[in-house]
Amino acid sequence: MDYFISISIDIDSIEKYIDMEPNKKKKIEDQIESEQKAISYDMKEFTIELYVKKYLERIDEDDNELYVPDYQREFIWDEKHQSRFIESLYLGLPVPFMFSAEIKESGRLEIVDGSQRIRTLAAFMNDELTLSHLEKLSEMNGCKYSELPVGLQRSFKNISIRMVVLSSKATEEVRNEMFDRINTSSVPLLPMETRRGIYRGSFTDFIIELAKEPRFKQLCPMVRYMQNRREEEELILRLFAFYELYPNYNAVEKMGVAKYLDSYLAQKNKTFTNADKDTLRKGFYSLIDFMEKVYQGQGFAKRRGAVGISKPYFEAIAVGISLALKENPDMKVEYKKSLEIDKNNRNAFYKLIEGRYQTHTASKIKNRIEFVKSEYKA
């Protein structure tokens, strides 16, 4: 029997490459080779038992060999998500590789991607997870690890999962690039979670510090899920970025909010001084003082008792009041009915805040911030 292999050749692509100037070809090849040298890694294969040991041993001393860095997100997988991951392992289904980076100074492995999975493995083997919502292995629902037959416990411990280990030769820039590109989790990172990994520096640390302020948290009522997703940090970043950019928000409209905030954060990390820190800290606490006096029981929520923060509303109130306080630190402390959001009474402010589309054009950002500022200047 004769076998024929059909090969599809893109003649246009070949001709374009052939016609390319030799100097251009050389530059492309040299660039690829140079960048590949910077990304040095090994492929490891560890059993689950070893992963858990490396993660838990000396964790209380913050000296565990396999560790979750501070910039990574909190443990947010719920019981269902964790259980289905365990089920996938028992079924022998392929699971994503773990990714880590070797830290030269300590020899430890920083988890770049896989923190939710590793912590799930540790929780299960320490009887801190009761399996639930399993469909294929429904008989295991309600079971903890120690309650399973010994044979199943042993087989689980001996399951191997591959890990890509970026060598200590890789620069922090390469590690950041790796974190930015990896998207293996089924729960996508929110922008601020990603920024924590990519844009490290004194300004990022400052935002993280302020986000832990209990008084600010009290003014930002939100579900725990959003707190775990760094939402307070996102709000503070927006406050500073829109405050300093006022009154021209063309860059935000042109780049989009997320990309502009990325750019702003990266630049501030390079130029942030102690004087800048003192100025922003003073303004931040002046805002908190004012909000506590005027918006008690509401904070930055649209209405009293509401849970969740509207970003357009937060930007308008936080930046508008901050700008007004900058011009007049002793301005009258009073509640403004004109800033109430009531769908049954759609006032001028309501129309500036609400909207399904294009909430962050330059004019809309400026108009809602100036509306608040002018109300307090009046």
Whether residues 48 and 156 fall in one domain: yes
Whether residues 86 and 232 fall in one domain: no
192 pLDDT tier (thresholds 50, 70, 90): confident
The predicted structure's pLDDT at residue 260:
94
**Longest CA–CA separation in the chain, Å:** 93
Whether residues 179 and 231 fall in one domain: no
The predicted structure's pLDDT at residue 184:
39
Whether residues 63 and 179 fall in one domain: yes
Residue 179 has pLDDT above 80, yes or no: no
Where is average pLDDT lowest: 85-89, 100-104, 244-248, 368-372?
100-104
CA–CA gap between residue 14 and residue 30 (Å, rounded): 20
Whether residues 357 and 215 fall in one domain: yes
Whether residues 161 and 213 fall in one domain: no
Which of 149, 183, 217 is at the close of a domain? 183
Q: Could you list the residue range(s) of the whole structural domain that residue 208 is in?
A: 202-377
Whether residues 176 and 290 fall in one domain: no
The predicted structure's pLDDT at residue 181:
66
Residue 8 has pLDDT above 70, yes or no: no
96 is a domain residue:
yes
Whether residues 210 and 164 fall in one domain: no
89 is a domain residue:
yes
Q: Which residue has the higher pLDDT, 356 or 352?
A: 352
Whether residues 128 and 217 fall in one domain: no
Residue 2 has pLDDT above 70, yes or no: no
Please give the model's pTM, rounded to 2 decimal places. Answer: 0.55
pLDDT tens per residue across span 271-323: 999 999 999 999 999 999 999 999 988 999 988 887 778 888 999 999 999 99
The predicted structure's pLDDT at residue 38:
57
Considering 108-117, 133-142, 173-182, 341-350, the range whose residues carry the highest mean pLDDT is 133-142
11 pLDDT tier (thresholds 50, 70, 90): low
Whether residues 142 and 218 fall in one domain: no
The predicted structure's pLDDT at residue 357:
47
Whether residues 225 and 276 fall in one domain: yes
Whether residues 107 and 172 fall in one domain: yes
Residue 129 has pLDDT above 90, yes or no: yes
The total number of structural domains that make up the chain: 2
330 pLDDT tier (thresholds 50, 70, 90): very high
